[in-house]
Amino acid sequence: MPSPGTLALEIPSIGTRLALAMDPKPSSLAGRLPLKVDLLKWKQEIYFTTPIPPSDYEGAEVVKRVAPGGLYYWPPGRALCIFYGVSQIYTPGRAAGLVLGAIHLLDRLRGGEKGELRELGDADLLESGLVGEIEARGYKTAPVLVEGEEYQAAGKLIPGGRVHVLLYEESGHLMAESEPLFHYDGSLPARFLAARLRRIVEEESRRVRLDLSEAGYVVLSGVLEEGELGDFLEEYEAVWRRIYAEGLL
- Record: fold of 128-245: Yope Regulator; Chain: A, (3.30.1460)
Q: Considering the entire predicted model, what is its pTM?
A: 0.94
Averaged confidence pLDDT in the chain:
95
Domain chopping of the chain, boundaries:
6-119, 128-245
Domain spanning 6-119, CATH architecture: Beta Barrel (2.40)
Section 39-49 average pLDDT: 97
> How many degrees, rounded to 5, is the angle at CA 16 between CA 48 and CA 125?
120
- Summarised one tens digit per residue, pLDDT across range 70-108 is 999 999 999 999 999 999 999 999 999 999 999 999 999
Q: For residue 171, what pLDDT band results from cuts at 50, 70 and 90?
A: confident
pLDDT of res. 1? 60
